[in-house]
Amino acid sequence: MTSDIRNYNLVSKLFHWGSAVLILGMIVVGLMMEDMEGPEKFELMGLHKSFGALLLFIVIARILNRFLNPVDDLPEMTAKNIKLAKMGHGLLYLCMLIMPISGILMSQSGGHAVSMFGWELPTLVGKEHDFHEFTEGVHGVTANVLILLILGHAGAAIYHHIFMKDRTLLRMGLRKL
Ligand code: HEM
Ligand code: HEM
């Protein structure tokens, strides 16, 4: 049986929607932490760090899966829009990698261990003030870029569905086309 590579397969769909939920949760929790103090902040930060470290592994697996299960370009899309969508997806992948990596490096260079639900990650950098400041900046700036990209990306998907009435959103849907 040959598969229809115009559609995302189930693994790709589960990766997409699973990581979308986790990333949106990470952004909400990250922004909430900014206005908090005391033990609650550190409890939430522990969860943010565990889920964030988990996301690094999920995103790496997702990128590998993307190369193993490619999809065709949609024939109804113009060459310019295909290019734009691919650029957007590339930037989303880049931000999805930079966020957990900068988070881990920021914590470790600040002198804090990172554990993923109790399992401590190897130390990649020791305590280092300047590098901590740098990675903290990267984490904050990339978070804002990621939020803008997600808004544009979700907006484009909804625009395709409602106004262009094409298969763009449906082929990422959990129902079989
Ligand atoms: C996809 C993964 C991640 C996303 C989307 C994310 C998102 C965010 C956001 C939106 C903020 C608030 C922005 C700011 O404070 O400037 C934040 C703060 C923070 N994140 Fe993450 N994060 C991720 C992964 C991680 C990881 C893996 C760690 C550590 C192991 C981490 C540690 C922190 C810490 C310590 C803060 C507070 C920084 C501060 O108060 O300046 N994050 N994160
Ligand atoms: C955290 C949020 C999200 C992230 C990080 C994200 C990321 C991505 C990435 C990287 C791709 C490219 C997949 C590939 O490699 O081909 C993609 C595809 C897609 N996403 Fe998202 N996404 C998010 C949320 C959403 C939301 C909320 C929607 C719908 C409203 C959506 C709709 C789609 C659709 C329809 C595609 C397929 C596009 C196509 O076939 O050209 N995504 N997403």
Please report, for the domain that includes residue 103, its CATH number.
1.20.950
Domain membership flag for residue 2: no
Domain membership flag for residue 137: yes
Domain membership flag for residue 3: no
Smallest-distance ligand from the CA of 21: 2
Q: Which atom belonging to ligand 2 lies closest to the Cα atom of 19?
A: 1
Domain membership flag for residue 73: yes
Distance CA 54, CA 173 (A): 24
| Element spanning 44, H or E | helix 38-68
The pTM for the full model equals 0.94
Domain membership flag for residue 57: yes
| pLDDT tens-digit readout, 38-51 | 999 999 999 999 99
Q: Which domain holds residue 134?
A: 10-172
Domain membership flag for residue 141: yes
Is residue 177 predicted with pLDDT exceeding 90? no
Is the CB of residue 3 less than 8 Å from the CB of residue 72?
no
Q: Which among 172, 174, 175 is the best mutation to test ligand 2's pocket, defined by most ligand atoms within 8 Å of the CB? A: 172
Domain membership flag for residue 5: no
Number of domains in the chain: 1
Region 85-89 average pLDDT = 97
- Tokens representing 7 are 């559609």
Going by their DSSP bridges, the two strands 119-120 and 115-116 should be labelled as antiparallel
Residue matched to tokens 């115009």: 6
